[in-house]
Structure 1
């Protein structure tokens, strides 16, 4: 037996000049190193100013044990959540770090954050290739700064250390302020860092995260606020936090998996099945209320040439750019999906065909103005411009009484637009041009 083959591979040390950190945008590197330097300076100063008592070490040890046990119990869930996340990841460590911020001297807060994030980096994220070491350090820095900000703000409402304050209302206000300031500080640092990392892809959702992401962070901080009161009065009750935290993380993972199953992985739009299911609901609603809606079928012209000329990575970036445009130019209750390849579909709720034609023409014009900075398969930079699209428009109930009939009419209109020279919008009102195509599409669907 080959003993050497059984041994785990040794960790390879990378020279400082080859760190992945230096491959990030220059302004992001400057900002990150600056925040880390400020954090380190504040922590060193705190070690010189704040005394550490035996009681502090006891609270530190309790929080460290609670946090590490929680991380180990939810390690697989955390790894999956991090893998699936496309927005800033909420790791829920703040349920233990907020109590540390309000109950411990700043030096121990920094040490505790280092312990938690080192453990997360090795145990939960260690096998995830996209989580580089410098990202873990950056996340820990953001957490420490947020805790310092929370402690500073809460101290204005306390006459001394929180555990010696007898005014219960003052303690409650300090905890609430700590929650709010911690959330705001972490959000501010994260937004700036994400913008500097990819300014050309900066969108509100990418920078701020989704509503669910922010709600999860606030929920975790609120639980952390309750933990402060538990540790002040009945520390043994802190073990009761494990089950709700475990269920909360599992619920978030289930939600991520559900969203993943309903969306096109490349563009983040609804996939064909989900779009069709939700579209059927719109048909039922429109039939019940005697209202209308319109469907836009959007097909990029000569998309294959992008893949052939620049590679599939550039083609993917073009599709993502178009998806972002469609999300910006439609309302939150409209349905935007990708049907595969370069074909997109939009359902405009409550819109007549005339209104949909105007919207389609606006979208067509914006597509011609798209500038997509990307790269070829070999890494060479390239800019894609002057793209066009052919758009077909059909409205319910004029074009059909079912979703499939309306889709068939919009699809037929796309072919008329392409046969007419591309880069144009065609509606089903053009009955003479569409009649032959509508007949062929209907026959195909019935066969």
Structure 2
């Protein structure tokens, strides 16, 4: 500890600290509006841009200055969030996590190429050491974040909520790669460090555009396609099927007696039931199938390239999975509740047997749902194939 505190700090070190802090603060101010919108739209762990500055800081500055820079950047971010103040413990946690990830990157650099890695004439070893530093920063930052998020709310922990999406992790890796490029600029041409602003700004605008696109196309409660986006993608599939002569099928899925869940347990439990069903539908369908929520308890699935016979098999598998669902939730007063023994009525229709347009196929599947409900619920009903599958509910 003593050796850490009394690491010598030179005037050149203080100059590098001031440069990195200045770049980070100016960038945060310039992009504050973009980041505020990005933060408000994030449903997974929010990825900011501090690692662009922290990676070169970890490898260039004396160790005592690294957590100081982290504190400066995160205190500024907390202070500038005027609309909603950040809880102090979050700022401390974020700054600490970033500092530990920075120290891990420095350790990786030294393990690969020694303490003189950045001044070595062995370019290949130095490059490998920097890549190792990037990897160490990414892994340690992710690991600490996962542990913190899990213990903050273990009952709500999912792989996506803890690890984030592929796009989230790709963004963090991109930030670290930009940090490595900034490191090279600071070592060989410090004046070029200002050039980092433009690619960072473009990157942030692109990420925001992607988030806005997803917001416009996704149902915010379940993460599935909303009605408008589903119809748009469905009509694209219709055009493709018309050109190639392929078939596709539509499953209309309606939870039986969903209103009773809301009335008995409350709307929070009802929402958890809808989210659980959405997750089930994503697991039981292929990546190129279209899964959407039309509102309430009504879901729709387009199975690309599947005729009605195959769709009936898939629908029956989904119906059976729904009957085995066990959803842990809470009532409006916070008391725990378990939702089980649920069922769904599913209607199946196929193109082109049930219609020449997407709306005609949807109408046929919707009519099949009502037939399933009239027949006792907890059933799968086809249209052109007069099969009823399932158990009366």
TM-score by length of 1: 0.82
Structure 2 residue 172 is matched with structure 1 residue 217 = yes
SS at match of 1:106: coil
Match of 2:239 among 284, 287, 292: 284
Is there any run of 5+ residues in structure 1 with no aligned partner, and where?
Answer: 1-43, 434-447
TM-superposed CA distance for 1:155, in Å, is 1.0
Within-5 A mapping of 1:212-361: 212-361=167-316
TM-superposed CA distance for 1:49, in Å, is 5.8
Match of 1:425 among 371, 376, 380: 380
Q: CA 1:45–1:321 in structure 2 vs 1: closer, same or farther (change >3 Å)?
A: farther
Q: Which residue of 1 aligns with 2:7?
A: 50
Deviations 1:240-270 (A, max 9, x none): 1112211211111111011101011111110
TM-superposed CA distance for 1:165, in Å, is 2.8
Q: Which residue of 1 aligns with 2:59?
A: 102
SS at match of 1:155: helix
SS at match of 1:392: strand
Structure 2 residue 348 is matched with structure 1 residue 393 = yes
Deviations 1:82-115 (A, max 9, x none): 1100111110111100000111122111111111
CA distance in 1, matches of 2:262, 2:307: 36
CA distance in 1, matches of 2:278, 2:26: 42
TM-superposed CA distance for 1:316, in Å, is 1.3
Q: Which residue of 1 aligns with 2:76?
A: 119
CA distance in 1, matches of 2:197, 2:289: 40
| Contact kept in structure 2, 1:297 and 1:344, CA below 8 Å | yes
CA distance in 2, matches of 1:309, 1:316: 13
Match of 1:128 among 79, 84, 99: 84
Q: Which residue of 2 aligns with 1:436?
A: none
Aligned residues: 388
Q: CA 1:144–1:45 in structure 2 vs 1: closer, same or farther (change >3 Å)?
A: farther
CA distance in 2, matches of 1:302, 1:406: 25
Q: CA 1:331–1:128 in structure 2 vs 1: closer, same or farther (change >3 Å)?
A: farther
TM-superposed CA distance for 1:198, in Å, is 4.1
Following TM superposition, where does structure 1 have runs of at least 4 consecutive aligned residues deviating by more than 6 angstroms?
none
Q: Which residue of 2 aligns with 1:62?
A: 19
SS at match of 1:298: strand
CA distance in 1, matches of 2:159, 2:7: 40
TM-superposed CA distance for 1:430, in Å, is 4.8
| Contact kept in structure 2, 1:159 and 1:165, CA below 8 Å | no
| Contact kept in structure 1, 2:109 and 2:117, CA below 8 Å | no
| Contact kept in structure 1, 2:34 and 2:205, CA below 8 Å | yes
SS at match of 1:356: helix
Match of 1:157 among 99, 109, 112: 112
| Contact kept in structure 2, 1:46 and 1:106, CA below 8 Å | no
TM-score by length of 2: 0.93
Q: CA 1:377–1:203 in structure 2 vs 1: closer, same or farther (change >3 Å)?
A: closer
CA distance in 2, matches of 1:82, 1:101: 26
SS at match of 1:295: strand
Q: Which residue of 1 aligns with 2:324?
A: 369
SS at match of 2:121: coil
CA distance in 1, matches of 2:175, 2:72: 19
CA distance in 2, matches of 1:257, 1:272: 17
CA distance in 2, matches of 1:337, 1:298: 10
Q: Which residue of 2 aligns with 1:384?
A: 339
Match of 2:368 among 404, 413, 431: 413
Q: Which residue of 1 aligns with 2:50?
A: 93
SS at match of 1:157: helix
CA distance in 2, matches of 1:88, 1:328: 22
CA distance in 2, matches of 1:102, 1:388: 57
Q: CA 1:216–1:341 in structure 2 vs 1: closer, same or farther (change >3 Å)?
A: same
Cα RMSD for the two superposed structures: 1.9
| Contact kept in structure 2, 1:46 and 1:107, CA below 8 Å | no
Q: Which residue of 1 aligns with 2:391?
A: none
SS at match of 1:425: strand
Q: CA 1:361–1:132 in structure 2 vs 1: closer, same or farther (change >3 Å)?
A: farther
